[in-house]
Amino acid sequence: MRREIQRAEKLHVLGQLAASIAHEVRNPITVTRGFMQLLGESELATKQQGYIKIAIDELDRAESIISDYLSFAKPQLEKLEVVHVNAQIRNLVNVLGSFAAFHSVELLTELGDETSIEADPAKLSQVLINITKNAIEATKNGGRIRLVTLRQKNHAVLHIIDEGIGMTEEQVLRLGNPYYSTKENGTGLGLMVSYRLIEVMNGTVDVHSKKGRGTQFTLTFPLVEAQ
């Protein structure tokens, strides 16, 4: 009990801190990015264009870290709505289509019965993007990712299955820990945020993985009718 209160207090403080950092830091980032872009449009040597690209990429990275922290620190669901799971998956394929194509990865959908859950559509979308982006990044050129939906009793079930690099049991246990990343320019925040959001939307997440073979993420949410 005591621990729970302490945790709630910490989250509250973290939330306030994150909100003020985001507010204070976002503006200068946006301004700097704008000037960088203007610089990039002027006549510059290739080498200098390269520097500007790096600078803009790094500013974008800072922005994505801020976004991740913000959604973690403010887990309360502002917009609970009835969300159609299959529609969310179609939307996901649209959003990540070019990212997948860039990595030469194919996104295959296997949509089962229509299911509806109660969720914040923007946050559910963020969760699906984070998990599927990881799947794409774990997959070699020419690989496929299966996005499967089905109805199981009173639950909507969603599988994100890749045939990528996979993980050891130890690695799976570390998923969701802040800053845990095996990537050169990873933030290690994506799954921490996603796990938290799934929890507040009354969902569960299950991971099966085999090193060198692939990974399956399974998300389960209570159906709206069942509540």
Q: How far is the CB of 172 from ligand ADP (least distance, A)?
A: 9
Chosen from Mg ion, ligand ADP, none, partner binding at 218 (C-beta under 5 to 8 Å by type)? none
For 26-51, b/e burial (b = at least 16 CB within 10 A) is: eeeeeeebeebeeeeeeeeeeeeeee
Q: How far is the CB of 130 from Mg ion (least distance, A)?
A: 6
Question: Which run of H or E residues covers position 163?
Answer: none
Using DSSP bridges, classify how beta strands 106-111 and 144-152 pair: parallel, antiparallel or unpaired.
parallel
Rule CB under 6 A: which of 4-43 touch ligand ADP? Answer: none
Question: What are the residues binding Mg ion (CB under 5 A)?
Answer: 134, 190
Q: How far is the CB of 37 from ligand ADP (least distance, A)?
A: 25
Between residues 30 and 182, which has the closer beta carbon with respect to ligand ADP? 182
Interaction between residue 143 and ligand ADP (CB under 6 A): no
How many whole angstroms from its chain centre is CA 204? 15
Q: Are 132 and 96 in contact (CB under 8 A)?
A: yes
Q: Are 176 and 205 in contact (CB under 8 A)?
A: no
Q: How far is the CB of 137 from Mg ion (least distance, A)?
A: 7
Q: Are 40 and 52 in contact (CB under 8 A)?
A: yes
Number of neighbouring beta carbons within 10 Å of residue 224: 17
Between residues 127 and 156, which has the closer beta carbon with respect to ligand ADP? 127
Q: Using alpha carbons, list the distances in angstroms from residue 2 to 6, 8, 14.
A: 6, 10, 18
Between residues 115 and 139, which has the closer beta carbon with respect to ligand ADP? 139
Rule CB under 6 A: which of 163-202 touch ligand ADP? Answer: 164-167, 175, 180-183, 186-192
Chosen from Mg ion, ligand ADP, none, partner binding at 187 (C-beta under 5 to 8 Å by type)? ligand ADP
Coil, helix or strand for 183? coil
Interaction between residue 138 and ligand ADP (CB under 6 A): yes
Interaction between residue 134 and ligand ADP (CB under 6 A): yes
Between residues 26 and 133, which has the closer beta carbon with respect to Mg ion? 133
Residues facing 223 on adjacent strands: 117
Write out the residues near ligand ADP by the rule CB under 6 A.
130, 134-135, 138, 162, 164-167, 175, 180-183, 186-192, 215
